Amino acid sequence: MPWSRIRPDTNEPEFMSAAVDGGLQGRRISYAEATNEALSQALSLDPRVFVMGQGVDDPSGMFGATKNLHMAYGRERVFDTPLAETALSGIAVGAALGGMRPVYFHNRPDFLLLAMDQLVNHAAKWFYMFGGAANVPLVFWACVGRGWGSAAQHSQALQGLFMHVPGLKLVMPSTCFDAKGLMLAAIADKNPVLIIDHRMNFKQRGIVPEEPYTVPIGKGVIRRKGTDCTVVAVSHLVTDAFIAAQELAGEGIEAEVIDPRTLRPLDEDLILESVSRTGRLVICDTGWKTGGVTAEISAMVAEKGFQHLKAPIARVTNPDLPTPAGYTLEQAYYIGKDDIRKAIVRTVRGQ
Amino acid sequence: MSLTKDAKRGMLRTMLRIRRVQERIESEYLKDEMKTPVHLYIGQEAIATGVCATLRKDDAINSNHRSHGHYLAKGGDLKAMMAELFCRTTGCSKGYGGSMHLVDVEHGNLGTSAIVGGGIPIGTGLGLAFQMQKLDRVSVVFFGDGAADEGTLYESLNFAMLKNLPVVYVMENNGWAVCSPTATRHCGDNVFHKGAQDRLFSAKIDGNDPEAVYETTLKAVERARRGEGPSFIECTTYRILGHAGCVSQDPKGYRDPAEIESWRERCPVCAYQSKLQAEGVVNASFLADVEAEIAAEIDVAFDFARQSPLPTAADLHKYLFCE
Ligand SMILES: Cc1ncc(C[n+]2csc(CCOP(=O)(O)OP(=O)(O)O)c2C)c(N)n1
Ligand SMILES: [Mg+2]
């Protein structure tokens, strides 16, 4: 699929969080390289870590994320699997219980639905169900597809489903820096962590330090400061929200952009503190609206920050429909910068 | 029942039609007008052709992401298929599905899933429905060696054997799942060649020989129609082109060019054409006519697709629920 023609590689915007990220010196590398470097460092630092998944040793190496790792670390630790997501997810759970640190690449969240039983009924329950007797330190990774007729079974952003599940940590990075730091944090975590990435993120290039580092799971970050409206956005929509906010600055609206980075546990304090200053909230997600990420964040703010709200909460999501294949339908389906912009204006100006 | 000359000519025609359609898609794909991932069937034509030649119009088929050949062999309309690849409202799925989601209810193709292994239980369920309604219809499920890695195959076959369902499982072992060879994913022969003989008719055949495919499938289909239960047919074949897209988009280095070459030499379409020529079943003028008809049909289908309207934003919310 000619992804390169869907969106060219672009440098990440200059988020104010660059300074928050420790002001670490780094090089500008691609999102895939950042993820790959995290895996490579984890494999070299911890002999328990291994990487599995369909096509992790392909020439394309999972959009570049796992490219050539099998050459450096051998096929025992970086291996291709049969197309058997249900059993192999359970096998990853077993390996984690047996003392290993599996990182299972699932290509697309759509295929995670075959892994749902092991992920939800088993991995997420194990520590609690046995009173803390045994834990499951594993990482599952999947990358949301988009465009070129990916259609209903190859483009689902299913974070809403997974956010619902106690016992599972859910991470959605949006920058190259976080892709590396959150991957290393997820691998170090003692619990099952699901990382949902996005093909649009893989078109980014950003500043990433060479040395290993972690980004804390459960901590969001402010990407842009503002006083009039809080915009919470996830995954590649962080960039869209940021650009929308920059544009609106010229029109007298200062929007604050928050990237939660982790959806579960959610950095509630960061969002609530921001809303307490701005009094307004727009939430943007790559998934559906009903019963999803935006619904949960709205409910949380309505419960805990109602007194600060000066306007109804606005949500920007794809319509509650399966993804259509045709490109004219895709154009109508997907939301982006302009939708976020409109929602901010409506929320701030009440029109 | 041995194949009549007409039946043989028909099979060759079907194979040529599938091949030429695939070639045309391949050669036009880089124009970026077909904005949908395509999985081409070149090298596997004998399987869809031989299998579907044994079926009635009201028998069902269920296939996978690589479905152009199955759709066409079962009687699917080329214009509707091409319009779907061009994402037009006149496409078989009206532009909502794309290349991986073809449908043709009239010919028993109730929709194609691109989740590997996803169609296997659905095809099994069609068999259950036919049995419960006491119909003598048969359900055929096409799937790859990759889908044979999935649990759904084992669960479905067990159920089909348990209930004696009229289902024929056709595994197209083309050597690869994306860039992973079958041998690195399967531990020897599929288990269904080994056990349960009394419950399952099982065979492993040359999937590049349309007559072998026809004859074996015919046995399976007749058994199923008589209420004697399911079959499992593994067809050995080869995916000549890349997993998806056109040739230049296939990553290099994951398979030996000599392997591809050796299978190109076993091209099922060329081999069958030579065989029928040697048998005197077809001659040069027949072949020229068939090629001309097919080329004309393809031109018409591409024109039809290009000239058909695109769906618009106003169509987005259609079809969420059936009223
Ligand atoms: C459940 C699931 N896992 C993974 C994929 C990605 N995928 C699409 S086609 C394919 C290979 C399928 O191989 P096979 O069944 O042998 O069919 P072939 O492509 O060879 O015709 C894979 C891994 C998918 N679509 N669904
Ligand atoms: Mg295959």
Q: What is the pLDDT along chain A (351 residues), one digit of tens a residue?
A: 555 456 788 999 989 876 556 556 899 999 999 999 999 999 999 999 999 999 999 999 999 999 999 999 999 999 999 999 999 999 999 999 999 999 999 999 999 999 999 999 999 999 999 999 999 999 999 999 999 999 999 999 999 999 999 999 999 999 999 999 999 999 999 999 999 999 999 999 999 999 999 999 999 999 999 999 999 999 999 999 999 999 999 999 999 999 999 999 999 999 999 999 999 999 999 999 999 999 999 999 999 999 999 999 999 999 999 999 999 999 999 999 999 999 999 999 997
Nearest-5° angle of CA A294, CA A299, CA A304?
130
- Active site positions of A, annotated: 154
What token pair was written down for A126? Answer: 């194990």
Q: Mark whether A21 and A83 lie in a shared domain.
A: yes
pLDDT per residue over B115-148, tens digit each?
999 999 999 999 999 999 999 999 999 999 999 9
A37 with A31: CB under 8 angstroms? Answer: no
Cα-based angle A278, A281, A284 (whole degrees, multiple of 5): 140
A300 and A340 co-located in one domain = yes
Tokens coding B317: 């919310």
* A85-102 residue pLDDT tens: 999 999 999 999 999 999
**Ligand 1 pocket, Cβ-based, cut-off 6 angstroms:** A 54, 83, 85, 111, 114; B 39, 65-66, 114-117, 144-147, 174, 176-178, 239, 243
Q: Is A190 exposed, middle or buried (0-12, 13-18, 19+ CB in 10 A)?
A: exposed
* A229 and A164 share one domain: no
**Burial of B32 from C-beta contacts in 10 A (0-12 / 13-18 / 19+):** exposed
Asked if residue A188 and residue A44 are part of one domain, the reply reads: yes
Which residue range(s) make up the domain with A76?
Answer: 3-214
Residue A112: closest CA among chain B residues belongs to which residue? B115
Same domain, residue pair A140 and A23: yes
* Residues A46, A178 within the same domain: yes
- Tens of pLDDT, residue by residue over A131-143, are 999 999 999 999 9
CA distances from A64 to A81, A138, A306, B167, B254 (A): 17, 21, 44, 41, 15
Q: Any idea what the CATH number is for the domain that residue A327 is in?
A: 3.40.50.920
Q: Which of A186, A214, A242 is the last residue of a domain?
A: A214
Residues A201, A242, single domain; the answer is no
- What's the CATH number where A65 sits? 3.40.50.970
A232 and A204 fall within a common domain: no
Domains in chain A, number: 2
Residues of A in contact with B249 (CB under 8 A): 1-2
Residue A306 DSSP one-character state: G
Residues A87 and A227 in one domain: no
Are residues A184 and A297 both part of a single domain?
A: no
Prediction pTM value: 0.92
- The residues, ordered by sequence, that sit 6+ positions from B105 with a Cβ below 8 Å of its Cβ are none
Same domain, A34 and A167: yes
What is the phi/psi pair of residue A17, to 5°? -70, -15
Domain final residue pick, A214, A242, A275:
A214
ipTM of the complex: 0.88
A270 and A180 inside one domain: no
For residue B147, the ligand 1 atom closest to its alpha carbon is: 15
Residue B198 in 3-state DSSP?
coil
Which of A188, A214, A240 lies at the terminal end of a domain, its last residue?
Answer: A214
State the distance from the centre of ligand 2 to the C-alpha of B145, rounded, in angstroms: 5
Q: All domains of chain B, ordered by start, with CATH?
A: 5-308 (3.40.50.970)
Q: What is the pLDDT of residues B26-53, one digit of tens each?
A: 999 999 999 999 999 999 999 999 999 9
A350 φ/ψ sector (left φ>0, alpha ψ -120 to 50, else beta): left
Region of A72 on the Ramachandran plot (φ > 0 left; ψ -120 to 50 alpha; else beta) = alpha
Say which amino acid occupies B209.
D
**Residue A126 neighbours by CB distance under 10 Å:** 20
